Amino acid sequence: MSYHFLTSGAKYRVTQAFVDFDRRTHPVGEEWTFLRTSFLPYDDGLSIFVTDETGHERQIRMQWRDEEQGPIIERLSDYLTPA
């Protein structure tokens, strides 16, 4: 499964810090392995599922609205790079 440029099983590194829907900061240098995404149309919710550096599955929740994480989602390749 892939999403934009993200490929399931591939590792990525945060190159520009961002804050997700839950107000968690993802700092430069954070690395994880992409698993899959899920989209909830009612709330414009995009969940990005990853495994972190310790192997634990995490859900990064985003909201695809201009006043939330929409600008980040639309330019995700500015925030992440293959690790």
By DSSP bridging, strand 11-14 and strand 31-40 are: antiparallel
- Which domain covers residue 60, as residue numbers? 2-82
Q: How many folded domains does the chain comprise?
A: 1
Q: What CATH number did the domain enclosing 76 receive?
A: 2.30.30.350
Predicted local distance difference test score (pLDDT) of residue 6: 94
SS3 41: helix
Structure-block tokens of residue 77: 């390749």
- Would you place residue 2 in the very low, low, confident or very high pLDDT band (cuts 50, 70, 90)? low
Which pLDDT tens digit goes with each residue over 18-58? 999 999 999 999 999 999 999 999 999 999 999 999 999 99
Which pLDDT tens digit goes with each residue over 64-75? 999 999 999 999
- Would you place residue 1 in the very low, low, confident or very high pLDDT band (cuts 50, 70, 90)? low
